[in-house]
Structure 1
Amino acid sequence: MIDLFYYFRKKIIDPLSSLRVTERWLNSLSLKDEYQAHKHISDALNIFNSSTDPLTKERLQILMRLDEGSQLLQKNLCDIYLKKHASDPELEQKLWKCIFANFWHLAHGYQAFIRDYLDHPEQSEISKMIPLITVRAIHYLSGEIKWRYFHQEMVQPNMWKRLHKLYRLSELHGFSNEKVTIAGGSSESSCMMEYFRILMLDMLVPTSLQIEQIELVEQWLMRWAEVMHLDNHYAENRHTHFIDLSKPAGAGKIVPETEGEKLRFWDISPLLAEVTRSLRLQREGKQLDRIGIEGKYCDSACLDFMEQLSTLWMTDSAARVYPRELSDNKTVEVVCGISCVISMLDSHSSNSESCSLNALSAKWPIENESATGYGLIIHSDACSNAEVGRLIGVRDAESNGPWKIGAIRWVKNAESGKISLGVEKLSDSPRAVKIERLELAQLHSENLQEQAGIITADVKELRALFLPNVDNKGMASSLILPISEFTAGKIMDLHDKQLTYKIRFTEILENSEDWARIKFDILGRRSRAA
């Protein structure tokens, strides 16, 4: 086994002294222990980035050779991580650190050469290589961000600034669409494609996704990003999304108040068409390459998830454009689970909250909050209710104000035996409503209640949550109900206040184990009998 630091301590040879020496050193690494070989290269990259040697063309070639020499090892360790991260926490931490370090060192290494070029463009030896360097810098910075998502970490503002500057550089120098080969692969990519991939991944709020789902989306976007294009000028009837290069934030869906000096726009339709095309080819058996993760995420589950992407990208619960504010000893009252949330909203609307219902609630401290959700802290003994995907009701514990509803998107361990969790707000003004099959409604309207007992076993009545439309989030009105109650095309009567709506269930927008948020069509409306 080669000990990299042995060479530095003994000053026998410096593996980074020349390209030829680096090549020999890489070839001498033993691949019997891939983790150690990978660590040696990461250590070499760390020393490379710490060096004060001039950033010459040969130094760039050494960095690129270290980059290329690490790719197979990086891929193999990533595969192991995806298979074993859930079953072996100690191995998960070990692999996460070394894989993340590789992305970090390579991103910073390439960015150093870009900064040096911008400081001395006339004297630079590497001007012709700037397109390649910039693509790789965006690629590895995006990889660093993706692995932060695996640990439920949001993109920091300074990382958005770096990404925006790198893409802006490619625009100013006219190579944003120029394709180059990424290290260790045969596929080509461009600055625009790499930039677009991380923008669209971030719009899915990856901290709410499983690790496997994040990996899948990134893989799929490698294929789909080629059809997308960022435009400098807004076309009202075509563009759907935008990014502001002057702000340290991600992308968003265009709304009436969208404005700024450095905006870039795109139409998401070509991407959605690629999603539809991929689904069709997979179902017809014509797209033969696997879309799942071997041993972890089967193809059928992938197809279901792929089908949800179009909805997720268009609802724009996406990129956090609202800043988080740290809470000052504030707490919220919380109820967990769809049945408890509906019961609490029912009683709140009728001003009849009982002691038994209040016993279902708990008070959880707020760590931070924004217009789109909360960061909460709970003790580990309360974590049985804190599962990813769980529907919860939330209201200010001091004011006893209106209930809001949200979904737990991520859960992770915090210090001192506590649990940190993230909640995405789904509605500020949900209402509990009654839904029943049309047959029972017809009996009532025809004053045939005495016959209702005959068909009680065939009649279905349920409580659900109505979520009004939210224009600034691009969310149409929807219903949340037990997932077992959804059947596409089912026609029901929805009773809300003094009106009854005849509705038809159409499709699931999102779902968890016990609930689904669904779209519906309104077929008619009438006043309820007094």
Structure 2
Amino acid sequence: MFGFFKRKKNDEDPLSDLKTVSRWMQNLPAGDIYSAQEQVVQSLIQFNHAGLGMSKERLQVLMHLDEQARDMQFSLCGQYLRNPRMSKVIESRLWTAIHAFYWEITRGYHAFLMDFVANPGGSKIQAVVPTITARALRGFADIFKWRYFRYEKVEEKLWLRLHNLYRISEFDGFQNNRFKLYPSDTSSSSCTEEYVQALLLSPLGAGSLTPKQIEMVDHWLDNWSEHTTLDASFDAERHYYLVDTNKGQGLRHIRAGVNEPTYRYLATDQVLEHLRQIERALKSGAAPVTLGLGEEFRLPDGYDLLQYVANEWAPVGERERRVSPRQPVQGRWEVLRDLSSICNRMSRESEIASGPSSRQTLSPDEILDIKLYGFVTERTKSAYQQRSQQPQEIPLERWPLHDRSDTGLGIVLQGEDSDWVKVGKLLALRMDPGDIWHLAIIRRLTRIENNQRKIGLQTLNGVAQLVQLQQEQAHELGYAVEDGSYGNTAPSMGLIFPELEQGNLIILETARYAHGRVFQMMQQTSERYIRLESARDKGDGWLMATYATVG
């Protein structure tokens, strides 16, 4: 899996002893974190494949390297999470580097623990077994989390290794001992807390959250250990979930009162109450950061995330269920992705259908000419005619339909087809080239057997109509959702839904949104001024908001 990292056979082993690894870490390229971490992973691969004894000295080397490389690893993780729209090549390189470090470090700790279990009396690492057990539990949790980022399913053998590590801590009686796993940690933890955190995150890795959302919830769980308990005996009043430590899977709901020696029962009643208290505090005006939600937490979107998490941890009888059942269907859909491609395609098809003589809307260049000169220049007219005569290649794919409901569609893709797919993407779909386009949002992505991916789409009711938007600077009232939007006054396109009962809704580029911002909105036969109001939803490069007509 990690052939990207090549070992250099002739180099001196930098992990031969504690002094050597300390000196080697100091000489890593300080200005290139990616290259430095790549060298760390190369050395870890060599360390794990060396076939040498599990000595106390070698364990000290592994622990020291782990501690010293943490800052570089966290920096790479931050780069990944801050750039959700990076190219597939860059995303793959960065993800592989991050995952490989967690994999090799955890693999090293696991090997030492298995050697200790096989010969506890003759081992010299007894004193640090609780520490490396907790680190290995956290390592497996990190591996799982980063696989969730790619909507991958965690293999059964990895779940069994995680369960086995916790059983080791129980057998030796140190599962609840609290200590700092790393010198840089700000708080203490325990094997139970690390294990429970991995378990609680497992229902959230089913493919409905973005990597940034999963990371946010994982950060919350760092500080919520006092709100959860793991027990060996079943209590029907408190236990909603169980984990079978003999099976390669995560949490599952308790549907009947059962007691088995291999079962462990998780109580989520307190953490659910904590979530309710947080939501009440937010609605009372408390700042999210003071509630431990982190600096990345934003309202009103944050309410949806809190409610989603609470629903995943709730008892079976209290969970929201699918309103409309899915029915198997067949067929293939034409698919467009991203707001700009959707708008351009709709604009082009409208021009072809109407003919050039009946074109009612002005292009952004024509609008700019009128604002500057009071008329459309010959150069702009000529440029428009040349563009209209050239075929415009807008990416279009055909997806097989798997199932359908009143509110959504299910698609199954083979292999790595459409590798751009991720939660939050805006799509336009239609069965036949003569049909109108229907908008949908990718809400769920799950990897299933035979390397297939099941994609859950939420369809948007109502027919979308194309509009042009020109920002009115004199009416500016609000704040943009992204810093990059300041001064961005060029004309743009958006989509409205005049037939929806929910009121006036518009989809526009994320960077164009600010509460209270005024736009001149132009359609084929009319124009008016609108003021943006509250944001309702958003995803990769798009945002849905309500608006009011002004003037």
- The structure-2 alpha-carbon separation of the partners of 1:236 and 1:99, relative to structure 1 and needing over 3 Å to count, comes to same
The question of 1:409 aligning with 2:444 is answered yes
Paired residue for 2:104?
105
Paired residue for 2:19?
20
Paired residue for 2:511?
none
AA aligned to 2:502 is S
Paired residue for 2:193?
193
Paired residue for 1:212?
212
Question: How far has the Cα of 1:89 moved from its partner?
Answer: 2.5
- The structure-2 alpha-carbon separation of the partners of 1:380 and 1:204, relative to structure 1 and needing over 3 Å to count, comes to closer
SS in 1 for 2:234: coil
Q: Which moved more, 1:152-161 or 1:21-30?
A: 21-30
- The structure-2 alpha-carbon separation of the partners of 1:511 and 1:171, relative to structure 1 and needing over 3 Å to count, comes to farther
Structure 2 gaps, min length 5? 319-327, 336-397, 404-408, 428-440, 459-499, 504-535, 540-551
Q: Is the 8 A contact 1:331 1:363 kept in 2?
A: no
AA aligned to 2:311 is T
Q: Is the 8 A contact 2:444 2:457 kept in 1?
A: yes
The question of 1:9 aligning with 2:10 is answered yes
Q: Matched residues in 2 for 1:239 and 1:148: separation?
A: 28
- The structure-2 alpha-carbon separation of the partners of 1:316 and 1:25, relative to structure 1 and needing over 3 Å to count, comes to farther
- The structure-2 alpha-carbon separation of the partners of 1:43 and 1:364, relative to structure 1 and needing over 3 Å to count, comes to same
Question: How far has the Cα of 1:206 moved from its partner?
Answer: 3.6
Q: Is the 8 A contact 2:7 2:43 kept in 1?
A: no
Question: How far has the Cα of 1:101 moved from its partner?
Answer: 0.4
Q: Matched residues in 2 for 1:385 and 1:66: separation?
A: 36
Q: Is the 8 A contact 2:333 2:401 kept in 1?
A: no
Q: Is the 8 A contact 2:422 2:445 kept in 1?
A: no
Structure 1 gaps, min length 5? 319-329, 338-361, 368-372, 392-405, 426-481, 486-509, 514-530
AA aligned to 1:208 is S
Q: Is the 8 A contact 2:246 2:262 kept in 1?
A: yes
List aligned pairs for 1:157-168, cutoff 5 A: 157-168=156-167
AA aligned to 2:301 is A
Q: Matched residues in 1 for 2:6 and 2:425: separation?
A: 47
Q: Is the 8 A contact 1:177 1:191 kept in 2?
A: yes
The question of 1:89 aligning with 2:125 is answered no
Q: Which moved more, 1:197-206 or 1:252-261?
A: 252-261
- The structure-2 alpha-carbon separation of the partners of 1:374 and 1:105, relative to structure 1 and needing over 3 Å to count, comes to farther
- The structure-2 alpha-carbon separation of the partners of 1:364 and 1:29, relative to structure 1 and needing over 3 Å to count, comes to same
Question: How far has the Cα of 1:422 moved from its partner?
Answer: 3.4
Paired residue for 2:455?
422
TM-score (norm 2): 0.59
Q: Is the 8 A contact 2:206 2:446 kept in 1?
A: no
The superposition leaves residues 308-331 of structure 1 with CA deviations (integer Å, 9 ceiling, x where unpaired) of 32123226699xxxxxxxxxxx97
- The structure-2 alpha-carbon separation of the partners of 1:133 and 1:299, relative to structure 1 and needing over 3 Å to count, comes to farther
Q: Which moved more, 1:47-56 or 1:225-234?
A: 225-234
Question: How far has the Cα of 1:291 moved from its partner?
Answer: 3.2
Paired residue for 1:479?
none
AA aligned to 2:10 is R
Q: Is the 8 A contact 1:365 1:377 kept in 2?
A: no
Paired residue for 2:531?
none
Question: How far has the Cα of 1:202 moved from its partner?
Answer: 0.9
AA aligned to 1:160 is W
The superposition leaves residues 121-141 of structure 1 with CA deviations (integer Å, 9 ceiling, x where unpaired) of 001001121111110001011
SS in 1 for 2:412: strand
Q: Is the 8 A contact 1:110 1:133 kept in 2?
A: yes
Paired residue for 1:135?
134
SS in 1 for 2:229: coil
Q: Matched residues in 2 for 1:60 and 1:118: separation?
A: 15
Q: Matched residues in 2 for 1:275 and 1:102: separation?
A: 33
Question: How far has the Cα of 1:255 moved from its partner?
Answer: 0.7
The question of 1:42 aligning with 2:44 is answered no
AA aligned to 2:286 is E
Q: Which moved more, 1:281-290 or 1:169-178?
A: 281-290
Q: Matched residues in 2 for 1:93 and 1:119: separation?
A: 38
TM-score (norm 1): 0.61
Question: How far has the Cα of 1:279 moved from its partner?
Answer: 3.6
Paired residue for 1:51?
50
AA aligned to 1:9 is N
Paired residue for 2:523?
none
Q: Is the 8 A contact 2:145 2:205 kept in 1?
A: no
Question: How far has the Cα of 1:247 moved from its partner?
Answer: 1.5
Paired residue for 2:79?
80
- The structure-2 alpha-carbon separation of the partners of 1:7 and 1:385, relative to structure 1 and needing over 3 Å to count, comes to closer
List aligned pairs for 1:309-324, cutoff 5 A: 309-314=309-314
SS in 2 for 1:409: strand
Q: Matched residues in 2 for 1:385 and 1:164: separation?
A: 32
Corresponding pairs, count: 373
Compute the RMSD of aligned alpha carbons.
4.3
Paired residue for 1:234?
234
Question: How far has the Cα of 1:421 moved from its partner?
Answer: 3.1
Paired residue for 2:175?
176
Paired residue for 1:377?
413
Q: Matched residues in 2 for 1:190 and 1:182: separation?
A: 8
AA aligned to 1:186 is T
Paired residue for 2:224?
224
Q: Is the 8 A contact 2:169 2:191 kept in 1?
A: yes
Q: Matched residues in 1 for 2:165 and 2:47: separation?
A: 22
Paired residue for 1:306?
306
AA aligned to 1:143 is D
Q: Which moved more, 1:302-311 or 1:196-205?
A: 302-311
Paired residue for 2:502?
484
SS in 2 for 1:201: helix
Paired residue for 1:70?
69
Q: Is the 8 A contact 1:383 1:419 kept in 2?
A: no
Q: Matched residues in 2 for 1:123 and 1:232: separation?
A: 31
Q: Matched residues in 1 for 2:146 and 2:288: separation?
A: 32
Which structure has more relative contact order (CA 8 Å, sep 6+)? It is 2
Q: Matched residues in 1 for 2:417 and 2:248: separation?
A: 37
Q: Is the 8 A contact 2:400 2:413 kept in 1?
A: yes
The superposition leaves residues 277-317 of structure 1 with CA deviations (integer Å, 9 ceiling, x where unpaired) of 344455423853773565xx635433441243212322669
SS in 2 for 1:155: coil
- The structure-2 alpha-carbon separation of the partners of 1:198 and 1:31, relative to structure 1 and needing over 3 Å to count, comes to same
Paired residue for 2:249?
249
Paired residue for 1:120?
119
Q: Is the 8 A contact 1:252 1:316 kept in 2?
A: no
AA aligned to 1:204 is L
AA aligned to 2:290 is L
Paired residue for 2:293?
291
Q: Matched residues in 2 for 1:26 and 1:386: separation?
A: 37
The superposition leaves residues 153-212 of structure 1 with CA deviations (integer Å, 9 ceiling, x where unpaired) of 011111111111111111111111112222342322111111111111111244221111
Paired residue for 1:469?
none
Q: Is the 8 A contact 1:388 1:410 kept in 2?
A: no
